[in-house]
Amino acid sequence: MPKIDECVTKKIIFDCVDENIYHFIARDSCKIFQENFYTDTCSLINTGNATNVDEKESCPYISLLQKASVSIEKNHVNETSDFCLYHVNFTKYLNEDIPPCGTTNCKSLQMVCSDSDPAYCYYNRIFWVIIYGILVVLNSTFRTNVHRIFDVISADMAKQHNSDFGRQRLWSLLGASAGPALAGLMLDKTISFGSGKSYVPVFICSIIFSIVSIVPFYKVNPKFHKPTADVCRKSFELMKNLEIFMFCIVVLIAGISFGFKLIYGSLYLQDLGASDMLLGVSRGVAILCALPFLYWSKWFINKIGVSNFFVISLLSYVFYCFAFSLMREPWLATGFELANISAYHLFYVAVIQFCDEIAPVELQATMKALAGSLHFNVG
């Protein structure tokens, strides 16, 4: 969510002094109150050990503060100093009409004021939360549909040109291996402003790479199979097949494991003290190690068997979660991430291959999109 400068609150504490005519005074940086402060943010604090509530409420400053009759004057200590002297003035009352701070009731009082309006900050934050939520939903919707369409097109074109879907994913993973490491490096090297990090350079690079990738896609001319006339009825009949139904259950379980690992794995590594660079490198190393397996993925899957490979993939998630539960050093994740080779990379190639084997030609695209949605969205 974008930073909201209005919510960055600066506070100043005024002490009650007997000898000063303004009664409340503070000496602090001149940068605290650049403009007007908000009277509603001022409050009185009793720093003493007094427990008598009636005695505290009898102090005239409390009633004056509730009537919003407070103003603050700022004066430079001297021309060379960066400090200012802040005085509290009760505008609707003469200073001589107010009892001095040295009285028993107000002796231990402090006044705390802020330069931000909490109500404005709250509503402004709600506005940005709504905008952020809408953008996240739109991004997820477009990204999900685009990825599923890419899977269908890549699988069909691989079959048309007597190629292998695993080898097509190899090229996408080459970019995916460099992406996390590059993003982590940029986050580590980018100067942070305030208490957070700036993700703007990462988003700019992502936009540039997306625009560049449009050029080769423009020349692609895929040839699709003609879909069946009644997709809904045919798909429902297909789901009655026990083998296909169990296949969907396996893909859903793998998708749940994948989502759990993707989200909570990174959070756990950050709790262990992993840097953004280490998070990117650990995923990048796993992807690079998966490249030779993807190149010969068809041989591996045919040798082991698609059904047997599904079992191996689920066991890989078990190993990953068990290893992470025992891990206490974040750099060990670089080795444990290798479980993704069978748990995700080869598994998804096996899923696409299984869809081609069990689904009719006119429903293969629907089956692939369904499997991808179960794994990446529902799971």
Instruction: For residues 234 and 205, give the distance between their C-alpha atoms in angstroms, rounded to a whole number.
Output: 43
The residue-averaged pLDDT of 74-91 equals: 73
Retrieve residue 132's tokens: 């952020």
Among residues 27, 34, 32, 59, which one has the least CA distance to residue 44? 59
pLDDT at 247: 94
Residue for token pair 């066991």: 315
Retrieve residue 134's tokens: 């809408």
Q: Which amino acid is at 333?
A: A
By CB atoms closer than 10 A (0-12, 13-18, 19+), residue 30 is middle
> Is the pLDDT higher at 144 or at 49?
144
177 in Cβ contact with 284 (< 8 Å): yes
Distance (Å) of CA 337 to CA 40, 83, 179, 286: 53, 54, 16, 6
pLDDT, averaged across the chain: 77
pLDDT at 319: 94
> Is the pLDDT higher at 303 or at 279?
303
Give, rounded to a whole angstrom, the gap between the first and last alpha carbons of the chain: 25
Instruction: For residues 345 and 61, give the distance between their C-alpha atoms in angstroms, rounded to a whole number.
Output: 69
Neighbouring C-beta atoms of residue 346, cutoff 10 Å: 24
pLDDT digits (tens, 9 = 90+) for 361-378: 888 888 998 999 899 888
Distance (Å) of CA 20 to CA 71, 72, 86, 287: 16, 14, 12, 70
Lowest-confidence pick of 75-89, 160-174, 240-254, 345-359:
75-89
- Residue % of the chain over a pLDDT of 90: 15
pLDDT at 200: 80
Q: How confident is the model at residue 315 (pLDDT cuts 50, 70, 90)?
A: very high
pLDDT surpasses 50 at 52: no
Instruction: For residues 298 and 349, give the distance between their C-alpha atoms in angstroms, rounded to a whole number.
Output: 8
280 in Cβ contact with 181 (< 8 Å): yes
> Is the pLDDT higher at 63 or at 272?
272
pLDDT digits (tens, 9 = 90+) for 200-228: 888 888 888 888 888 887 777 777 666 66
339 in Cβ contact with 210 (< 8 Å): no
pLDDT surpasses 60 at 11: yes
